[in-house]
Copies of this chain bind each other. A is one copy, B any other.
């Protein structure tokens, strides 16, 4: 499948065995790690790293997460971590879906991010400027 037709950013990743739990499948919490790493790589590709934001006093934080789990990842699995981004008032919505190479959906998530500046909620204009050309409708 050509994921980059449907998503703004696609990161190919491989399961690391320490991410598996005693059931032999990736532990449920690690999908949030995969998605966080994908958001950070996307932001870096858009010219704005989280380290730079943090130094400027800007800290994006999660306000809401919804995840559907479809197909558990196992040892050696390669997968594609795909991302789209939209604006909802002062918040960002990241659509983050993971797939196997053959198109099997692994998880589908909707991650809502708010923007703190020096600890206070803001309209996130710095990020909107950086992301404006990537915003889609959801």
Q: Using CB atoms and an 8 Å cutoff, list the residues of chain A in contact with chain B.
A: 16-18, 20-25, 27-30, 32-33, 36-37, 40, 44, 49-51, 54, 59, 61-69, 72, 74-76
Contact = CB atoms under 8 A, between A and B. Distances in A.
A19 to B, nearest CB: 9
Copies held by the complex:
4
Nearest to A110: B66
B18 A20 contact: no
A39 to B, nearest CB: 9
A44 to B, nearest CB: 7
A108 to B, nearest CB: 10
Contact of A66 (B44, B66, B69, B75): B66
Given A18-B36, A50-B75, A66-B65, A59 B29 contact: no
A52 to B, nearest CB: 9
A69 to B, nearest CB: 5
A36 B23 CA distance: 14
Max chain B C-beta neighbours (<10 A), residue from A24, A63, A66, A72: A24
A27 to B, nearest CB: 6
Nearest to A74: B51
